[in-house]
Amino acid sequence: MPKTVYLYTVGCQMNVLDSELVASELLAAGYRLVDTPRAADVILLNTCSVRQHAEDKVYSALGRLKHAKQRRRRIIGVLGCMAQKDHQQILRRAPHVDLVVGPGQLGKLHEALETVQNGGGPVVAISAQRAAGSKAEVARSFVPFDVPRRGEVRPVRCQALVRIMFGCDKFCTYCIVPSVRGPEQSRPVAQIEQEVRRLADQGVVEVTLIGQTVNSYHDRSSGGSVRLADLLYRLHDTSGLRRIKFVTNHPNHMDDDLLAAVRDLPKVNPYFHVPAQSGSDRILKLMKRGYSVGQYCEMLQRIRAAVPQAAITSDFIVGFCGETEEDFQQTVELVRRARFKNSFIFKYSPRPGTKAAALWADDVPQSVKLRRNNQLLAVQNAISLEDNQRLVGQVVEVLVEGPSKVARKSSPAGDAPTEIVQLVGRTRCDRIVVFDGSLELAGQILPVVVQRAEAVTLFGALTDNRYSAPVAAAHSLCDPS
């Protein structure tokens, strides 16, 4: 009987990708993936440290798993950023954990599982702490985890994440990422090209290039100099590939040649996620973001001038140390002026190990953080709704991802491919569109007329009703775009 594995993932796209790679490797090693921890011999939690809330969720899950382990012998493992940051604390608070593997050591996971099965646990595999040696030494201890990728373990088969960089060197004062993901390292361009080609051969039509500061990508490994703009040109003609996205951008690396590449390459989506974090110069300085509000707005103008149809999105932290009502109002003002497609808004969460946590009190009360969060979200949502409403009546090109959450809930076992269900997809500007159609349309890019708009979702209908009718031959219809 093959061993069964349940893999639970929280956090960012780096973690989603790491989980896909772990799942691919364990499948190849003969494990079987299961949907519930109850059915699993091995339970792996891929964790996030970016905010306290994400860590609390993992500790409470570990508490529940203690009982699950008492009922039946199982292996419990903690992967990801918490593993790197808190390995000792995890084993102290949850002694039933058998293995702790950091994001830079995932290549050791399979071996660690075998050691534990043979009674040799617990196993701890983590990379060097950032202060433990030279940058090059620490970087070497974050080992790339490259395994053949398997489409069946991806959340959406036709879409794939592709890592182009590891780590971060920015050290924004609130952020734990540079400590847990190590120094910034760009992956060699040839490796990325090969991976994208293989994914396209597997039927992937959209790749999202990911990096903590993706637009600072700079590969010098083969003696030359390849930046993100060059990489986009090199990936663009990959046969079968229809769309290319990249996240997350840093405002200081939004170079004109990158904007020109997005403007000139039809497969590159006109979409920029470029977090501002705050609209107050005083707070930006305390955050050590390296730009002023004025510089950020200039950058927005350059994007809009080069790519007028671009959708721009942002992240904000409210309630950072010492944030006054006036600072917050400046953030509201920036959101009003910038008219982001959407913003992700977070309440500041002090992270032990960061400069902000060491130097400044977390002095904005939780209730004030919550109020500012809701207020900023309301301003952003009103803008998102207004912009989305302008699309009503227009036809947008949608990459069909699969059944919407509603459709998945009403039929968790999956539908017959030709049955009409509620589908979800995205426009080139990353707008979410919901419409009816058959499941076999997943992976196609189809025209949808927008009939109704909410702040985060457009509702529409396929313009060609051949696609929404339950015809067995739907897959043989040509793709109109």
Q: In which region does residue 339 sit, left (phi positive, over 0), alpha (psi from -120 to 50) or beta (all else)?
A: left
| 266 vs 288: CA distance, rounded Å | 35
- 212 is a site residue for ligand SF4 (CB under 6 A): yes
Closest CA to 138 of 178, 189, 188, 174: 178
Cβ atoms 164, 231 nearer than 8 A? yes
Select the residue interacting with ligand 5AD from 82, 317, 396, 441 (CB under 6 A).
Answer: 317
Choose among ligand 5AD, ligand SF4, none what residue 315 binds, the Cβ cut-off being 5 to 8 Å by kind. ligand 5AD
Choose among ligand 5AD, ligand SF4, none what residue 50 binds, the Cβ cut-off being 5 to 8 Å by kind. ligand 5AD
In the three-class reduction of DSSP (H, G, I as helix; E, B as strand; rest coil), residue 50 is classed as coil
Choose among ligand SF4, ligand 5AD, none what residue 213 binds, the Cβ cut-off being 5 to 8 Å by kind. ligand SF4
Q: Of 51 and 426, which CB lies nearer to ligand 5AD in the complex structure?
A: 51
- 174 is a site residue for ligand 5AD (CB under 6 A): yes
Task: Supply the minimum distance, in Å, between the C-beta of residue 338 and ligand 5AD.
Answer: 15
- DSSP E strands: which ranges in 218-280? 218-219, 226-227, 243-247, 271-273
Select the residue interacting with ligand 5AD from 255, 264, 315, 415 (CB under 6 A).
Answer: 315
- Is 476 exposed, middle or buried, given 0-12, 13-18 or 19+ CB atoms closer than 10 A? exposed
Distances (CA, A) of 296 to 171, 275, 284, 292, 462: 18, 10, 11, 6, 38
Closest CA to 472 of 449, 421, 438: 438
Dihedral sign computed on CA atoms, order 312, 318, 324, 329: positive
- 328 is a site residue for ligand 5AD (CB under 6 A): no
Cis amide bond preceding 115, omega within 30 = no
Select the residue interacting with ligand SF4 from 130, 149, 243, 250 (CB under 6 A).
Answer: 250
Q: Name the pairing type of β-strands 226-227 and 218-219.
A: antiparallel
Select the residue interacting with ligand 5AD from 142, 348, 435, 467 (CB under 6 A).
Answer: 348
Contact range with ligand 5AD by CB under 6 A, out of 148-156, 342-350, 383-391, 470-478:
342-350
Q: Of 37 and 275, which CB lies nearer to ligand 5AD in the complex structure?
A: 275
Q: Of 246 and 346, which CB lies nearer to ligand 5AD in the complex structure?
A: 346
- 87 is a site residue for ligand 5AD (CB under 6 A): no
Q: How many residues sit in the footprint of ligand SF4 (CB under 6 A)?
A: 10
Task: Supply the minimum distance, in Å, between the C-beta of residue 275 and ligand SF4.
Answer: 7
Q: Of 264 and 362, which CB lies nearer to ligand SF4 in the complex structure?
A: 362
Cis amide bond preceding 480, omega within 30 = no
Q: Of 40 and 50, which CB lies nearer to ligand SF4 in the complex structure?
A: 50
- 210 is a site residue for ligand 5AD (CB under 6 A): no
| 448 vs 462: CA distance, rounded Å | 4
Cβ atoms 91, 85 nearer than 8 A? no
- 346 is a site residue for ligand 5AD (CB under 6 A): yes
Residues within window 165-194 making contact with ligand SF4, judged by CB under 6 A: 168, 170-172, 175, 177-178
| 78 vs 76: CA distance, rounded Å | 7
Q: Which residues bind ligand 5AD (CB under 6 A)?
A: 50-51, 174-175, 275, 277, 315, 317, 346, 348-349, 351
Q: Please report, as ranges, the residues that interact with ligand SF4 according to CB under 6 A.
A: 168, 170-172, 175, 177-178, 212-213, 250
